[in-house]
């Protein structure tokens, strides 16, 4: 429903002289905190967990420092196996699955993340849910119309798995580069946006399977390779991204009250003042790709 | 309208056999001579006994006096006072007609009550505005407006331009009971609060009650806004209208049967879409754009003999926005109320109201093959009998009840695709609210007046439906997880609440020019408007109290000193302090999903609130220069487990200082000038301190977990208006109104926040969002015929 809010603002602006002006805001000083960015999937490629430290709000995000020397492990509590992530420096920790030895992450298993930084241990949990297969990727030719440049666009053919409460993060890559602006976040709860009886098991609705895969001001060019991945995520992860989106697009007349995005990573010692932000999610992935003719 | 009436009053003597020992009762109606319109709150005083009463909302009064000679004085602001003397031996009923003061005086009086009301009546924390008074305040785009006028009274504030609704004594916008001819209105705004839905040409009387709320009102915590519309001229056809910058208005009223039945119909429509049409036509995608809002009001009333009156009133208004065929957004209210007045005896008056009220909105986008459509509404039917028993010279008892059946449609949503139509609808919800009340106005000696009452209210959340149960989250402030649901059959009670709501008001008359007043009221509210946005929007969903959502309760104490000054007590002043405790205030987890969410209740938090403040008000009622100064010092805070580290935090609408100055000046017979000035402290804001990155997204963070820890800049604004009288004949009177809104072009921020810097998408930028950031001139032409 986030899409409606900018629209409302536009409506109001049409009548009035509503405007945004840059404004210097004096901000209070905060304390740096750890960030644990742990999105791990069941593919065979190298899995990465990032551990960083938050910076003052007005600073350049490219200066966010990595945290080295942490111990990072994921524990499969279904199979009682532990997978250690190696410290690659600058806050990057990796693990490469090995199918031949059975060292892979599996659908249906429960996982616990443990991160030890100095005297603090942070833990989190996630279940890996199955994901919806990519049935097809097809081309759509659009004519010039309001808000749409003529050209070729991509539509995903996929439908929500039966059973209520499946959540997905659908990523689109153009020649290997992910569309990763906050406005491009493409999330689904069952076949639509939020928990509702009607959308279980249905093909993803148009805003998810078509609108969010394309930039209608920039049609795909001939030769572009478009890959789409459907990551199963936990409902908590969906809410996490919903909150992130809400915080980053919180503007205009109907802005909500800014709030901290909730993390699912906790200090094992609840009395410790050292806190961590970030999120842990185990995903199953399906994918498909198409080359624009 | 004719002013040549010389008829002062007419007396209809009615024989009544019953004679009380020594006392007799004078009852009847007070009307406007030219139109026959009943006057609300006119004062009837008897000289020798020094007793006085006011007419009720239907123009009826009843006064008990000893037999013998009586000298009645009947007065009402803007009208010539009438004195009537006669010998009375038995119960008498009469109709008093008042004549409007001569033309030059018309511009002078801005109040709609007698001069001593401020001091003498028991009502406190109450402001009255007549349609005439509202028209004197400089208005946005030249359109005078009921709700915008209320926002200049002490104790009332708004979050800013563009927010629907207003806040009274630290209460949220859903805590105002807004009544249009006794039917509640769920959203009083056109165009996101810039205008209200009440057509000023039809408004007769507006009463705002912030404290000492009497037992006949209930269902909202913070205030009552009682809007009464005109009944229509009973004597001759007349009309008025206006052509403004944004609206055109027209209303016609007149007799259906002379002196027995009348009607009034009024319509307003914005026409920016009509003006913009030639521009939009050039773009074929925009040619179907719709941007308009309109409202229609109609009313009929019938005098059925001497004892009965019937009123039928209807209202329909909509805001319609649409971009081509692809997007539409429509919201509006519909009300229909039927009222029957019956005078059982000189001492017993009854009003029976039956109403239907509906608020609905519709949002849709897409085209014929792929579309999303969402419809939501709330509607209710209510039956409300009320009796006023003028028991004796010292006691007036009001008693009655109300029964309301609600249907809530939180969302009917469908998505149409090539594969078929999918339904996301949430089931309807039902509820039945009941109330019984009794209240007595008692005079004790010359100095004391009491009003004490009790209201019993109950709320039944009814099937057919599902009651949801949730398990507590691991950490407070997090989403509660859905546990189980139980199905209930039709009309089965899913949750039941009842509350006793005591009400008390006391007045002590210090002398003829000053009094002290004290009040206490407990209010219960069973409906909740769910909104986690800064301003309430037309999309906000009304929800009933359920097995999870408890009714909101408020206790308010107020103490006030009232004083009149000047020649003829022309200047009225008051100072009031209040303290309010609020319970079961709904708040939201961070990132709550309020729309089309079946498990919405898992996202709600409940807390307590407190609001306190002092209000100072000085009003000059007559003379060439008149107007008021209102200053409010107030706090509104809330404490919710799971927010702000469980500490008190200021509410989104907390403003420490509110200063309003309204003035009008009658320059000469041709020109009237008006000005208003508003200063309000900035509203609270929450800002981040830090930044972190997850999956390539930069996320703001406040390491203290604080809510509303900073302030937006203060709000201030100056408006002017000038009214030039045009042609003034008996058949046609007209005026030009020129207005300047935001005269010194202040860029008042509505809110301050961060957005992605357009020059560096990786960085944030502080931004203030300004809704009206420049001078807005306006001109409109009004006419009466």
Could you state, in order of their start, the residue ranges of all structural domains in chain B?
23-105, 117-227, 228-784
* The two structure tokens encoding residue B711: 């302030």
Please tell me which residue, A228 or A2, carries the higher pLDDT value: A228
Interface membership of B423 toward A (CB under 8 Å): yes
Exposure string over B722-757, b if 16+ CB within 10 A, otherwise e: bbebeeeeeeebbbebbbbbbbeebebbbbbbbbbe
CB distance B503 to B439 below 8 Å: yes
Asked whether the beta carbons of residue B532 and residue A180 sit closer than 8 angstroms, the reply is no
Interface membership of B695 toward A (CB under 8 Å): yes
CATH of B228-784 among 1.10.10.10, 3.40.50.720, 2.40.50.140, 2.40.170.20: 2.40.170.20
Whether the per-residue pLDDT at A33 is higher than 90: the answer is yes
* B80-84, B163-167, B210-214, B368-372: range with lowest mean pLDDT: B368-372
Whether the per-residue pLDDT at B405 is higher than 80: the answer is yes
CATH class of residue range B23-105: mainly beta
pLDDT of residue A8: 45
Please tell me which residue, B475 or A120, carries the higher pLDDT value: A120
Cα B213 to Cα B218, B226, B257: the distances in Å are 8, 12, 38
Asked whether the beta carbons of residue A192 and residue B415 sit closer than 8 angstroms, the reply is yes
Interface membership of B349 toward A (CB under 8 Å): no
Whether the per-residue pLDDT at A16 is higher than 70: the answer is no
pLDDT of residue B1: 37
pLDDT in tens, B494-536: 999 999 999 999 999 999 899 999 999 999 999 999 887 766 6
Q: Which range is most confident: B425-429, B547-551, B597-601?
A: B547-551
Give the percent of chain B with pLDDT over 90.
Answer: 54
Whether the per-residue pLDDT at B15 is higher than 50: the answer is no
Q: Residue A111 and residue A126: Cα distance in Å, rounded?
A: 5
Please tell me which residue, B191 or B523, carries the higher pLDDT value: B523
Of B191, B534, B708, the CB nearest to A255: B534
Whether the per-residue pLDDT at B103 is higher than 70: the answer is no
Whether the per-residue pLDDT at B109 is higher than 70: the answer is no
CB distance B534 to A257 below 8 Å: yes
Other Cβ atoms within 10 Å of B14 Cβ, number: 14
pLDDT of residue B19: 40
DSSP per-residue codes, B466-478: EEEEEEPPSSTTS
CB distance A87 to A234 below 8 Å: no
Q: Which residue of A7, A10, A13, A23 to mutate against B (max B Cβ within 10 Å)?
A: A23
Asked whether the beta carbons of residue A57 and residue B291 sit closer than 8 angstroms, the reply is no
Asked whether the beta carbons of residue A251 and residue B750 sit closer than 8 angstroms, the reply is no
Asked whether the beta carbons of residue B686 and residue A57 sit closer than 8 angstroms, the reply is no
pLDDT of residue A253: 65
Asked whether the beta carbons of residue A196 and residue B596 sit closer than 8 angstroms, the reply is yes
* B33-42, B97-106, B299-308: range with lowest mean pLDDT: B97-106
Whether the per-residue pLDDT at A169 is higher than 90: the answer is yes
Cβ-proximal residues to B253 (8 Å cutoff; 6+ apart), any chain: B35, B230, B232, B233, B237, B238, B239, B262, B263, B264, B265
CB distance B583 to A236 below 8 Å: no
pLDDT in tens, B350-397: 999 999 999 998 888 777 667 788 888 999 999 999 999 999 888 999
Q: How confident is the model at residue B539 (pLDDT cuts 50, 70, 90)?
A: confident
Mean pLDDT of chain A: 89
Asked whether the beta carbons of residue A253 and residue B537 sit closer than 8 angstroms, the reply is yes
**In chain A, what residues touch B690 (CB-CB under 8 Å)?**
30-33, 54-57
pLDDT in tens, B407-421: 999 888 887 766 677
Interface membership of A255 toward B (CB under 8 Å): yes
Whether the per-residue pLDDT at A98 is higher than 90: the answer is yes
Whether the per-residue pLDDT at A81 is higher than 90: the answer is yes
Asked whether the beta carbons of residue B767 and residue A23 sit closer than 8 angstroms, the reply is yes
Please tell me which residue, B321 or B449, carries the higher pLDDT value: B449
Query: What average pLDDT score do residues B142-159 get?
Result: 89
Asked whether the beta carbons of residue B597 and residue A194 sit closer than 8 angstroms, the reply is yes
Query: What average pLDDT score do residues A230-251 get?
Result: 90
Give the percent of chain A with pLDDT over 90.
Answer: 68
pLDDT in tens, A193-224: 877 656 889 999 888 999 999 999 999 999 99
Whether the per-residue pLDDT at B282 is higher than 70: the answer is no
Interface membership of B140 toward A (CB under 8 Å): no
Whether the per-residue pLDDT at B110 is higher than 70: the answer is no
Interface membership of A182 toward B (CB under 8 Å): yes
pLDDT of residue B536: 67
* Interfacial A residues in 50-109 facing B (CB < 8 Å): 50, 52, 54-62, 64
How far away is chain A from the Cα of B779, in angstroms, using its nearest Cα?
16
Asked whether the beta carbons of residue A260 and residue B423 sit closer than 8 angstroms, the reply is no
Q: How confident is the model at residue A83 (pLDDT cuts 50, 70, 90)?
A: very high
Label residue B577 exposed, middle or buried (CB < 10 Å: 0-12, 13-18, 19+). middle
Query: What average pLDDT score do residues B577-584 get?
Result: 97
Q: How confident is the model at residue B7 (pLDDT cuts 50, 70, 90)?
A: very low
How far away is chain B from the Cα of A214, in angstroms, using its nearest Cα?
16
pLDDT of residue B171: 94
| CA closest to B480 among chain A residues | A236
Q: How confident is the model at residue B106 (pLDDT cuts 50, 70, 90)?
A: very low
pLDDT of residue B479: 86
Asked whether the beta carbons of residue A21 and residue B703 sit closer than 8 angstroms, the reply is no
* Strands in B568-713 per DSSP E: 571-588, 604-620, 625-640, 649-650, 657-666, 671-680, 684-685, 690-694, 697-701, 710-711
The CATH architecture that domain B117-227 belongs to is Beta Complex (2.170)
For strands B176-180 and B223-229, give the pairing: parallel
Cβ-proximal residues to B394 (8 Å cutoff; 6+ apart), any chain: B442, B443, B444
Give chain A's radius of gyration (CA, Å).
Answer: 21
Please tell me which residue, B228 or A254, carries the higher pLDDT value: B228
Q: Which residue of B244, B291, B697, B750 to mutate against A (max A Cβ within 10 Å)?
A: B697
Q: Residue B345 and residue B589: Cα distance in Å, rounded?
A: 56
Query: What average pLDDT score do residues A129-145 get?
Result: 94
pLDDT of residue A215: 92
Whether the per-residue pLDDT at B114 is higher than 70: the answer is no
**In chain A, what residues touch B752 (CB-CB under 8 Å)?**
23, 25
pLDDT of residue A6: 42
Query: What average pLDDT score do residues B98-111 get?
Result: 56
Interface membership of B747 toward A (CB under 8 Å): yes
Please tell me which residue, A17 or A80, carries the higher pLDDT value: A80
How far away is chain A from the Cα of B309, in angstroms, using its nearest Cα?
43
Please tell me which residue, B747 or B247, carries the higher pLDDT value: B747
ω before B188 within 30° of 0 (cis)? Answer: no
Of B478, B694, B701, the CB nearest to A37: B694
Q: How confident is the model at residue B466 (pLDDT cuts 50, 70, 90)?
A: very high
Interface membership of A219 toward B (CB under 8 Å): no
How far away is chain B from the Cα of A130, in angstroms, using its nearest Cα?
21
Query: What average pLDDT score do residues B249-255 get?
Result: 94
Asked whether the beta carbons of residue B372 and residue A207 sit closer than 8 angstroms, the reply is yes
Query: What average pLDDT score do residues A141-170 get?
Result: 92
| CA closest to A198 among chain B residues | B424
Asked whether the beta carbons of residue A23 and residue B766 sit closer than 8 angstroms, the reply is yes
pLDDT of residue B102: 63
**In chain B, what residues touch A252 (CB-CB under 8 Å)?**
769
Please tell me which residue, B785 or B365, carries the higher pLDDT value: B785
pLDDT of residue B175: 95
Asked whether the beta carbons of residue A17 and residue B417 sit closer than 8 angstroms, the reply is no
Query: What average pLDDT score do residues B465-486 get?
Result: 89
* Interfacial A residues in 227-246 facing B (CB < 8 Å): 239, 242-244, 246
Provide the CB-side half-sphere exposure for B80 (13 A, CA): 19
Of A54, A254, A255, the CB nearest to B691: A54
Query: What average pLDDT score do residues A259-276 get?
Result: 89
pLDDT of residue B325: 63
Whether the per-residue pLDDT at B403 is higher than 50: the answer is yes
Query: What average pLDDT score do residues B562-591 get?
Result: 91
* B69-78, B287-296, B427-436: range with lowest mean pLDDT: B287-296
**In chain A, what residues touch B695 (CB-CB under 8 Å)?**
37, 39, 180
Q: Which residue of B272, B319, B539, B690 to mutate against A (max A Cβ within 10 Å)?
A: B690
Whether the per-residue pLDDT at B112 is higher than 60: the answer is no
DSSP SS3 for A100: coil
Asked whether the beta carbons of residue A251 and residue B767 sit closer than 8 angstroms, the reply is yes
Query: What average pLDDT score do residues B246-253 get?
Result: 90
How far away is chain A from the Cα of B196, in angstroms, using its nearest Cα?
15
CB distance B416 to B370 below 8 Å: yes
Asked whether the beta carbons of residue A194 and residue B593 sit closer than 8 angstroms, the reply is yes
The ipTM is 0.93
pLDDT in tens, B709-721: 888 899 999 999 9
């Amino acid at each position: 429903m986030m899409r409606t809010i900018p629209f409302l603002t536009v409506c109001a602006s049409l009548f009035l002289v509503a405007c945004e002006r840059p404004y210097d805001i004096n901000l209070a000083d905060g304390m740096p905190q750890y960030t644990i960015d742990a999105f791990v999937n069941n593919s065979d490629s190298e899995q990465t967990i990032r551990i960083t430290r938050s910076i003052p709000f007005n600073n350049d995000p490219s200066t966010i420092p990595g945290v080295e020397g942490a111990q990072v492990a994921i524990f499969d509590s279904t199979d009682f196996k532990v997978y250690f992530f190696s410290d690659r420096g600058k806050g990057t920790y990796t693990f490469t699955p090995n199918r031949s030895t059975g060292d892979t992450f599996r659908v249906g298993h429960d996982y616990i993340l443990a991160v030890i930084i100095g005297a603090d241990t942070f833990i989190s949990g996630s279940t890996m849910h199955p994901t919806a297969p990519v049935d097809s990727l097809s081309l759509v030719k659009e004519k010039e119309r309001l808000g749409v440049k003529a050209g070729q666009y991509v539509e995903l053919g996929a439908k929500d798995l039966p059973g209520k409460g499946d959540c997905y993060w659908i990523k689109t890559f153009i020649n290997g580069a992910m569309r990763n602006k906050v406005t491009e976040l493409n999330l689904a709860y069952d076949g639509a946006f939020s928990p509702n009886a009607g959308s279980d098991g249905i093909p993803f609705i148009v805003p998810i399977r078509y609108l969010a895969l394309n930039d209608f001001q920039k049609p795909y060019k001939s030769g572009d390779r478009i890959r789409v991945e459907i990551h199963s995520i936990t409902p908590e992860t969906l809410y996490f991204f919903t909150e992130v989106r809400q915080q980053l697009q919180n503007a205009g007349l109907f802005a909500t009250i800014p709030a901290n995005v909730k993390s699912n990573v906790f200090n094992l010692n609840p009395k410790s003042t050292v806190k961590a932000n970030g999120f842990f999610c185990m995903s199953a992935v399906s994918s498909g790709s198409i080359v624009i003719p | 309208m004719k002013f040549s009436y010389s008829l002062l009053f007419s007396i209809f003597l009615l024989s009544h056999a019953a004679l009380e020992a020594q006392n007799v009762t004078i009852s009847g109606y007070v009307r406007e001579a030219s139109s026959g319109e009943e006057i609300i709150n006119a004062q009837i005083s008897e000289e020798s006994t020094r007793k006085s009463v006011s007419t009720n909302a239907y123009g009826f009064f009843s006064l008990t006096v000893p037999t013998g000679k009586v000298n009645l004085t009947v007065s009402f602001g803007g009208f010539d006072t009438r004195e009537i003397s006669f010998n009375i031996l038995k119960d008498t009923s009469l109709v008093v007609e008042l004549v409007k003061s001569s033309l030059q005086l018309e511009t002078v009086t801005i109040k709609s009550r007698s001069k001593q009301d401020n001091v003498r009546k028991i009502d406190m924390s109450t402001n009255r505005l007549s349609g005439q008074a509202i028209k004197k305040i400089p208005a946005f785009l030249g359109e005078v407006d009921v709700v915008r006028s209320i926002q200049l009274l002490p104790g009332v504030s708004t979050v800013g331009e563009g927010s629907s609704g207003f806040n009274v004594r630290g209460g949220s916008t859903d805590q105002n009971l807004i009544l249009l001819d006794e039917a509640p209105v769920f959203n009083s705004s056109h165009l996101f609060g810039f205008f209200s839905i009440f057509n000023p040409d039809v408004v007769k009387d507006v009463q705002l009650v912030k404290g000492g709320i009497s037992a006949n009102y209930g269902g909202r915590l913070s205030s009552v806004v009682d809007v009464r519309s005109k009944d229509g001229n009973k004597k001759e056809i007349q009309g008025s209208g206006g052509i403004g910058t944004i609206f055109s208005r027209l209303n016609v009223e007149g007799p259906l049967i002379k002196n027995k039945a009348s009607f009034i119909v009024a319509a307003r429509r914005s026409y920016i879409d009509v003006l913009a049409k030639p521009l939009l036509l050039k773009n074929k995608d925009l040619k179907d754009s719709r941007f308009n809002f309109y409202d229609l009001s109609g009313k009929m009333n019938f005098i059925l003999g001497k004892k009965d009156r019937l009123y039928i009133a209807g209202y329909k208004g909509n805001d319609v926005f649409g971009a081509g065929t692809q997007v539409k957004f429509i919201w509006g209210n519909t009300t229909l109320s039927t009222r029957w007045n019956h005078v059982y005896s000189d001492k017993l008056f009854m009003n029976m109201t039956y109403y239907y009220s509906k608020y609905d909105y519709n949002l849709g986008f897409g085209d014929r093959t792929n579309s999303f459509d969402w419809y939501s509404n709330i509607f209710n039917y209510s039956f409300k009998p009320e009796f006023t028993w003028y028991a004796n010279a010292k006691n007036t008892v009001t008693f009655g009840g109300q029964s309301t059946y609600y249907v809530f449609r939180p969302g009917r949503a469908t998505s149409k695709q090539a594969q078929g139509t999918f339904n996301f609808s949430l089931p309807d919800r039902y509820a039945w609210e009941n109330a019984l009340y009794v209240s007595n106005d008692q005079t004790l000696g010359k100095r004391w007046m009491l009003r004490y009452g009790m209201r019993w209210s109950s709320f039944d959340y009814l099937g057919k439906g599902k009651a949801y149960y949730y398990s507590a989250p691991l950490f407070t402030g997090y989403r509660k997880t859905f546990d189980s649901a139980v199905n209930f059959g039709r009309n089965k009670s899913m949750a039941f609440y009842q509350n006793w709501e005591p009400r008390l008001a006391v007045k002590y008359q210090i002398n003829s020019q000053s009094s002290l007043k004290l009040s206490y009221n407990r209010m219960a509210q069973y409906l909740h408007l769910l909104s986690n946005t800064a301003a309430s929007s037309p999309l906000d969903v009304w929800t009933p109290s359920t097995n999870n959502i408890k009714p909101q309760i408020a206790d308010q104490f107020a103490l006030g000193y009232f004083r009149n000054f000047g020649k003829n007590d022309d200047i009225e002043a008051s100072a009031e302090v209040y303290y309010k405790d609020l319970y079961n205030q709904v708040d939201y987890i961070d990132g709550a999903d309020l729309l089309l969410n079946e498990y919405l209740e898992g996202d709600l938090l409940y807390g307590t609130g407190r609001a306190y403040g002092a209000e100072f008000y000085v009003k000059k009622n007559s003379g060439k220069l008149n107007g008021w100064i209102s200053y409010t010092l107030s706090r509104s805070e809330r404490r919710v487990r799971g927010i702000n580290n469980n500490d008190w935090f200021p509410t989104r609408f907390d403003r420490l200082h509110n200063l309003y100055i309204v003035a009008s000046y009658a320059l000469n017979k041709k020109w009237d000038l008006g000005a208003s000035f508003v200063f309000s402290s900035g509203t609270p804001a929450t800002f981040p301190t830090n930044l972190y990155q997850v999956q390539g997204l930069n996320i703001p963070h406040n390491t203290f977990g604080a809510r509303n820890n900073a302030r937006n800049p203060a709000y201030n604004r100056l408006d002017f208006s000038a009214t030039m009288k045009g042609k003034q004949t008996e058949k046609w009177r007209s005026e030009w109104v020129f207005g300047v809104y935001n005269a010194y072009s202040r860029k008042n921020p509505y809110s301050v926040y961060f957005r992605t810097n357009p020059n560096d998408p990786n960085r944030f930028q502080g931004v203030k969002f300004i809704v009206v950031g420049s001078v807005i001139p306006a001109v409109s032409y009004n006419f009466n015929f």
